[in-house]
Amino acid sequence: MTTTTDTPVDTVVRVEDVRALLDGVWESFLGAEEPLLTAALPAHLGGWTAAVSVTGTWRAQITIEVVDPLARLVTAHMLGRDEEPAVEDVRDALGELVNMVGGNIKSLHHGTAMLSLPWVGYGEDAPPPLLRETCRLDLTWRGLPLRVLVHVSASAAAADERRHSG
Amino acid sequence: MISTASFDFVADLQRRETAMRCEPGKEYLVEARLLPLAREAGYEDVDAYVARLRVDAAARADAVDALTINETSWFRDLAPYQTFTDTMLPALLESRAHVRHLELWSAACSSGQEAYSLAMLLRENLPPGWTATIHATDVSRAMLTRVKAGRYSQVEMNRGMPATRLVRWFERAGSEWQVSEELRSMITTEQLNLAAPFPPMRRFDVVFLRNVLIYFDAQTKSDILRRVHHTVAPDGFLLLGTSEYALDAGPGWQREVSGKTWMHRPEGARPATPAAGAAGPAGVRGGAGSAPARPLATTVPATATASFSSTLGTVARAGTGATLPTSLTPQGA
Amino acid sequence: MHALIIDDSTTMRSILRRIVTGLGYTTAEAGDGQQALDQMEAGPLPDLCLIDWNMPVMDGYTFVTRVRDREEWRDVTLMMVTTESEHNQIVRALAAGAHEYVIKPFTPDAIIEKLDLLGLVPQEATA
Ligand SMILES: C[S@@+](CC[C@H](N)C(=O)[O-])C[C@H]1O[C@@H](n2cnc3c(N)ncnc32)[C@H](O)[C@@H]1O
């Protein structure tokens, strides 16, 4: 096994950990009756994108992509209301969702890092990350697709790959 | 919706394995609990999955685990734990001074929050030189594996764990938190079906048998309480769940009240609480005997929050801030 | 009992509001630490603050240190409700004067049990 000394913090983000954290968020706010299911999804979902970034001794971006009907369903659930949520409500709910998932992912590592405020957009991509994908979850909830992506700093990811292929 | 035949099969399985009753009307619950497993195994609905259970023993064990209610939390209901530190522990420190060792049993321990909550209180309150063992048992092997690992999700950590204790006794382990080796080393585990005859057991000073009797029929309950009686030291304590203490425990037991907690004790045990009316140590209210104690103060005494918070600034040496804050919400008031 | 709910997310404020009003609390809300301080100056003083960590303008950690600087706000109970979940962050918040700490995500039971630890569940709520 090769070890590197140039990456201060282990930047591996295990997909099982992300899934466990996501399930925790989901069960707490959206109920345990309908689980999130693994699915094969198209490359572009179209719809909402919510992201937060982590900066510090390690760098990452956590992104959630959801189709609009699911975004509205999730928002209505979180607000405990039956009526159609306003666009501003959807924006806020998705922001809080990615904040929770991102904050939990940040704490997977021992380093010191800061979480950004969430960024939420519709029909656009998240700010182009100078980072590369390290973890992807393609899922459905109540038959509607969502995707969770974790990108980490490219140099850290490369160092990591060296270490794990060694 | 799950078919009647599938439901009957599952209910029967549950009863055989755990003695837990699963009566008609609970179809929705069974469906909700088995659906995730069914989906995970690639079945469209629960009936197809139940057909699989009929021929697959490993899947049956998973299904029983999924059907079992494992709901638990740290320091569940608070008051029993307060009584443990305020009443039971002082009495035992006196009566066990010659051995300086305590034996506790968390029967039906679920994922271990009860056992580890007790371990924390012991570590924080036992005088130097004393040791204690907590025997954690459950019918579910999956639960015992969890107890041994001592790892809890973020969501589980939130359930009743005081922040000071979280930082003192836990470390992050990936997406979870792991309880310290110091506490894990106090725990022994064993698979044990309360509804069947017990294997040879030690005598315990304190038994927590909480939130499990409610699932059994009257006969099973009384059988269990009779068997448990043999495992409790003559001056020991049995603690039942908040909704269970009122049941008639049967012959050989007497009840004693401390604060708002009812303790069951082998008949003839000398009361652990000071005689009614006598000024007891802080936190001990109410007296011996069968009359319920007056509920604690109904408003928050200014000192309760203040004294608890005063221990919070001392995270680094949290050993001194061991007692739980006075809980102020009397039940059944 | 009166609670001040401090979080930049209106969704989260709504979730927390439903939990504590269910216990019989009245509530006020603030979107960041500075707004919360302003509201406390103006009164009425809350019995409890539920405080997010990451917020614009003034974060929850700074809010806690500011409240703890004020002798006359000593009796206000401060509970962090945040996604910040590193061990050392929890230690920092407690050392700064927070009384309790809930990590997001949480269920309503988790909030209620923590308030019970603090003696802040009004008794009529459990009767
Ligand atoms: C609701 S939990 C209670 C956990 C803990 N004692 C508490 O009060 O929080 C019930 C536990 O009883 C266990 N159980 C069910 N039937 C049992 C049996 N026949 N023998 C032993 N344990 C059993 C379940 O596996 C589950 O972990």
Q: Is residue B149 part of a domain?
A: yes
How many domains does chain B divide into?
Answer: 2
The answer to whether residue C126 sits within a structural domain is no
Q: Please, are residues B92 and B205 in contact by the beta-carbon 8 Å criterion?
A: yes
For residues A77 and A85, is the Cβ–Cβ distance under 8 A? Answer: no
Give me the pLDDT at residue A160, please.
Answer: 58
Judged against a pLDDT cut of 50, whether residue C76 lies above it is answered with yes
With a CB cutoff of 8 Å and minimum separation 6, the contacts of B159 are B72, B73, B74, B113, C107, C109, C110, C113
Which residues does residue C4 pair with via DSSP β-bridges, in sequence order? C28, C49
Nearest-angstrom CA–CA distance, B331 and B229? 27
Contact B312 C114 (CB under 8 A): no
Compute, in angstroms, the gap from residue A5 CA to the centroid of ligand 1: 48
| Distant-in-sequence, close-in-space partners of B286: CB < 8 Å, separation ≥ 6 | B257, B258, B259, B260, B273, B276, B292, B293, B294
- C-alpha triplet B251, B257, B259: angle, nearest 5°: 160
Q: What is the ipTM of this complex?
A: 0.93
Average pLDDT over residues C75-82: 97
Asked whether residue B298 is assigned to any structural domain, the reply reads no
Q: Do A95 and C10 touch (CB under 8 A)?
A: no
A23 contacts in chain C (CB < 8 Å): none
Does any ligand 1 atom lie closer than 6 A to the CB of residue B217? no
Sketch out chain A's domains with CATH numbers: 15-160 (3.40.1550.10)
Contacting residues for A165 by C-beta, under 8 A, at least 6 apart: none
Q: Ligand 1, residues B20, B62, B76, B110: which to mutate, most atoms within 8 A of Cβ?
A: B110
Residues B23 and B128 reside in one and the same domain = no
Tally of CB atoms within 10 A around C95: 16
- Decide: C33 and C58 in contact? Cβ < 8 Å: yes
Query: Is B123 found in the same domain as B88?
Result: yes
Other CB atoms within a 10 A radius of the CB of residue B68 amount to 22
Does residue B147 share a domain with residue B23? no
Q: What angle do CA A18, A68, A94 make, to 5 degrees?
A: 45
What pLDDT is attached to residue B326? Answer: 34
Percent of chain C surpassing pLDDT 90: 94
Answer yes or no: is B326 within a domain. Answer: no
pLDDT tens per residue across span A48-86: 999 999 998 888 999 999 999 999 999 999 999 888 999
Cis peptide before C105 (omega within 30 of 0): yes
pLDDT of residue B242: 87
Task: Kindly indicate the confidence band of residue A10, based on its pLDDT and cuts at 50, 70 and 90.
Answer: low
CB atoms B174 and A108 under 8 Å: yes
d(C-alpha B82, C-alpha B300), whole Å: 17
Cβ–Cβ below 8 Å for C109 and B308: no
Q: Which two tokens stand for residue B175?
A: 């997406």
Name every chain A residue with its beta carbon within 8 A of the beta carbon of B173.
none
Question: Using an 8 Å Cβ cutoff, are B307 and B272 in contact?
Answer: no
Domain containing residue C74:
2-121
Residues 6+ apart with CB under 8 A from B130: B93, B100, B101, B102
Give the pLDDT score at B310.
30
B323 lines ligand 1 (CB under 6 A): no
Range of the domain at B104: 79-286
- Asked whether residue B324 is assigned to any structural domain, the reply reads no
- From ligand 1's centre to the CA of B208, what distance in Å? 11
- Say whether residue A38 is in contact with chain B using an 8 A CB cutoff: no
Considering the domain boundaries, does residue C115 fall inside one? yes
Would you call the peptide bond into C44 cis, given omega within 30 degrees of 0 as the criterion?
Answer: yes
Residue of A nearest to C104 (CA): A100
Q: What is the CATH number of the domain that holds C114?
A: 3.40.50.2300
Residue A159: predicted pLDDT: 58
Query: Is position B174 within any domain?
Result: yes
When pLDDT is averaged across residues A148-152 and rounded to a whole number, the result is 92
CB of C11 within 8 Å of a chain B CB? The answer is no
Whether residue B110 has its Cβ less than 6 Å from ligand 1: yes
User: What distance lies between CA A81 and its chain's CA centroid?
Assistant: 25
CA of C66 to the centre of ligand 1 (A): 46
In testing the pocket of ligand 1, which one of B212, B225, B242 has its CB within 8 Å of the most ligand atoms?
B212
**Residue B196 CB: number of other CB atoms within 10 A?**
12
Domain containing residue B266: CATH number: 3.40.50.150
C-beta separation of A137 from A155 below 8 A: no
Quick count: other Cβ atoms within 10 Å of Cβ C82? Answer: 29
- Decide if B313 is inside a domain: no
Which is more confidently placed, B328 or C7?
C7
Is residue C59 included in any domain, yes or no? Answer: yes
CB of B68 closer than 6 A to ligand 1? yes
- Looking only at the bridges linking them, the beta strands covering C2-6 and C26-30 are parallel
Q: Are B44 and B134 part of one and the same domain?
A: no
Reference C125, options B330, B261, B109; nearest CA is B330
Chain C within 8 Å of A32 (Cβ-Cβ)? no
- For the ranges A106-110, B69-73, C47-51, the one whose mean pLDDT is highest: C47-51
For residue C127, being part of any structural domain is answered with no
CB contact under 8 A, A104 and B36: no
Handedness of CA B81, B82, B88, B90 (dihedral sign): positive
| A119-122 vs A48-56, strand pairing mode | antiparallel
Residue at B291 is within a domain: no
- Residue ranges of C 27-56 with Cβ closer than 8 A to chain A: 54-56
Which residue shows structure tokens 């201060």?
Answer: A8
Q: What's the total number of domains in chain C?
A: 1
Mean pLDDT of the C55-67 span = 97
Strand (E) or helix (H) holding A68: helix A68-79
Cβ of residue B18 lying under 6 Å from some atom of ligand 1: yes
CATH label of the domain that carries residue B62: 1.10.155
With contact defined as 3+ CB pairs under 8 Å, the chains touching C are: A, B
Query: Is any Cβ of chain A less than 8 angstroms from the Cβ of B175?
Result: yes
Are B39 and A35 inside 8 Å of each other by CB? Answer: yes
**pLDDT per position as a tens digit, B189-244:** 999 999 999 999 999 999 999 999 998 999 999 999 999 999 999 999 999 998 88
| pLDDT of A155 strictly over 80 | no
**List of chain C residues whose C-beta atoms are within 8 Å of the C-beta of residue B154:** 85, 103, 105
Chain A: list its partners (3+ Cβ pairs within 8 Å): B, C
Q: Tokens 């962090």 sit at which residue?
A: C80
Element housing B114 (H / E) = helix B113-125
Same domain assignment for residues B51 and B117: no
Residues B151 and B226 reside in one and the same domain: yes
In a domain, B294, yes or no: no
Q: Does A27 touch chain B (CB under 8 A)?
A: yes
Distance, in angstroms, between B156 CA and closest chain A CA? Answer: 9
3-state secondary structure of B137: strand
Span from the CA of B138 to the centroid of ligand 1 (angstroms): 6
Q: Please tell me the distance from the alpha carbon of residue B263 to that of residue C100, in angstroms, as a whole number.
A: 30
Q: What chains are in contact with B, requiring at least 3 Cβ pairs below 8 Å? A: A, C
The average pLDDT across A1-11 equals 46
What are the residue ranges in chain B where pLDDT is below 50? 276-333
> For chain B, how big is the Rg over CA atoms in Å?
21
Q: Which atom of ligand 1 is nearest to the CA of B20?
A: 16
d(CA C102, CA C5): 14
Residue ranges of A 105-164 with Cβ closer than 8 A to chain C? 106-107, 110, 112, 115, 117
Q: What does the pLDDT average to over C58-75?
A: 97
CB contact under 8 A, C9 and A75: no
DSSP state of B150: T
